[in-house]
Amino acid sequence: MNAPAGKKITTKEEALRALVDEISIPLSYDEKARTRYRSIGEWLDRPASTIHGLGPVISSQGSFALGTVIRPVGDGDAYDVDVVCSLKHGSKSKMSQEELKQAVGVEIHAYAKAQNMSNEPDDARRCWTLEYQDSANFHMDILPGIPARDDFTTQMRGYSPDVGLVQRLSETAIGITDKKHPGYHFRGAEWLISNPKGYAGWFRLRQETVLEEARLRMNAKGRAYASVEDIPSYEVRTPLQDAIKLLKRHRDVMFDGDKHKPISIIITTIAAEAYQGERTISDTLKNILPKMERRIAALGDPAVISNPSYPRENFADKWGEVSEKRRNFEKWVSRARQDFLSYLTVSRFNEFPEPFKAAMTEATIRKVSPKLGLAAAMIAAGTTAAVAEAQKVEAEGNATKPWLDIE
């Protein structure tokens, strides 16, 4: 994944790409995560499995499915790997959420025992969690679910006039388990709806042009993918994926340890909504950050950021309950715009303004610095003007929103 050690960086785009290389999950860890959840899938669907007849299917969701996984900021922090265990033949008329959760749990416990895992699986609110005690340091959350086509269609009435869209999204909708849901213990009750596969499909559609170009390049080398949907997320990286990784790192550093930090799904959603098929990370950040800031500033009360794969779901629903979540997001998107554009608008590719350098972390900058052809001390110096501007913006809080100067 990383650029060759001897290759020198000569442009801002190459510098950004090198930074993405450094903050991305190592390829060996990515492969290990995928091997592990496939192993769980094979275990759940083995002939001796107590849920074999229900047709369990394991698939990734979240950042692993979208190709936006990044390293934790702290060396001792864990990677969160989110997967769905959907039972193709499951039905809410034949099992409650609780019965589904426990049925999957029996096999998860058996898997942990067969693998000699040190920790017992944790029965969390919605999922089963496996902790792997090795250098990769994974937490794997396994979310049980069943097909929810009819419930999805019913619940979407009045939320979308596009009947065709609702029908397409209903094909991938699932009902999920949640201990706090009022219908958790009862067969036939309404379930919470989710649509991780539908969201991943929407995310790909937002990048359709660049993915199609990648598909044609790969096919020219003998890969033979019939459509962009056939390309595994880890086989290609796009400017949007790389931009989101940088934004997530900025968020992680700015709100290290804060439980009310901006959540990844909102960052990813509004970034993808703003994306217009830009071919570089630089152009992507220049385009999406002002739009993201405007999008958040224009939200009403209550704030609504709809799930594109299930528009009835509001990703910002907790903002009304905890006002700090909204304030933190507003503060973050404003700071992110200033920090990234302070670098993108300076004159030299190897001048890292102090706020940008701090957001990427000193350790990451040091790893990239040899490829820039300058001594680390020179890189650390930053740009005086950018530092002064960042300090001014910070002092003024959210009052300064100079959108028009870069458009």
The angle at the Cα of 268, spanning 267 to 269, to the nearest 5 degrees, equals 95
Task: Answer with the residue of higher pLDDT: 123 or 385.
Answer: 123
| Pairing of β 138-147 and β 79-87 | parallel
Of the listed ranges 2-11, 47-56, 119-128, the least confidently predicted one is: 2-11
- What was the pLDDT predicted at 291? 98
Q: Please say whether the beta carbons of 84 and 56 come within 8 A.
A: no
Cβ 308 vs Cβ 315: under 8 Å: no
* Cα separations in angstroms, 365 against 95, 241, 354, 371: 53, 20, 11, 10
Helix axes 281-297, 12-23, angle to 10 degrees: 70
Residue 214 CA, distance from chain mean position: 21
> 302: cis peptide before it, omega within 30°?
yes
260 or 372, higher pLDDT: 260
pLDDT digits (tens, 9 = 90+) for 275-319: 999 999 999 999 999 999 999 999 999 999 999 999 999 999 999
CA pseudo-torsion sign 272, 274, 277, 279: negative
Domain definitions of the chain by residue range: 12-406
How far from each other are the two terminal CA atoms of the chain, in whole angstroms? Answer: 33
Q: What is the mean pLDDT of residues 55-80?
A: 88
Using the 8-state DSSP alphabet, how is residue 226 labeled? S
Average of pLDDT values for 335-349? 90
3-state secondary structure 26-64: CHHHHHHHHHHHHHHHHHHCCCCCCCHHHCEEEEEECHH
Is residue 160 very low, low, confident or very high in pLDDT (cuts 50, 70, 90)?
confident
Tell me which of 3.30.365.10, 3.40.190.150, 1.10.3720.10, 3.30.460.90 is the CATH number of domain 12-406: 3.30.460.90
In the three-class reduction of DSSP (H, G, I as helix; E, B as strand; rest coil), residue 215 is classed as helix
Residues 6+ apart with CB under 8 A from 239: 210, 278, 279, 280, 281, 283, 284
What pLDDT does 406 receive? 29
Query: Rounded to two decimals, what is the model's pTM?
Result: 0.87
Better-predicted residue by pLDDT, 138 or 238: 238
